[in-house]
Amino acid sequence: MKIGRKLKPESPEEMRLVHHALENSTRRKMLILMNDGILTVQEISRAIGPIMLDYHLHRLELAGLIEVKKEIIIITDSGKAYGNLVKSQADKGGADKL
C-alpha cells in the first residue's frame, strides 16, 4: 500500500514538523528501521522499546513521514526519502548517536 505524499515540505510549518521529527535519535532510528521493513507498532516497540513510543510515532506522523493504521505503519514517500538520507548520514558516522 503506497501513500502519495510529496517528497519535500512546502511551507515553513511543514519543514518545522519534519525538523522536529528528525532531531531525535530515537525517531531517526525508527525511520531507518521502517525503511528496512519493520512496519508494525509491535516490531518497532521490540526494536526500540515501548517508552514514549506513541509520542515518537505521533511526531513522525505529524511530519507526514508515516501513517499508522491499526498497528500497521505505512511509510510515506517522504518518509522513505528522509529515512534513506538519515541512514546515509548514519553510515557515514553522522546523524549523531544512532
Share of the chain above pLDDT 70, in %: 87
Supply φ then ψ for residue 76, to 5 degrees.
-80, 170
Mean pLDDT across the stretch 69-79? Answer: 94
CA 36/CA 61 separation, integer angstroms: 18
pLDDT in tens, 20-55: 999 999 999 999 999 988 889 999 999 999 999 999
- Neighbour-count burial of 70, counting CB atoms closer than 10 A to its CB (0-12 exposed, 13-18 middle, 19+ buried): exposed
Domains of the chain: 12-89 (1.10.10.10)
On whether the CB atoms of residues 3 and 67 are closer than 8 A, the answer is yes
pTM of the model: 0.84
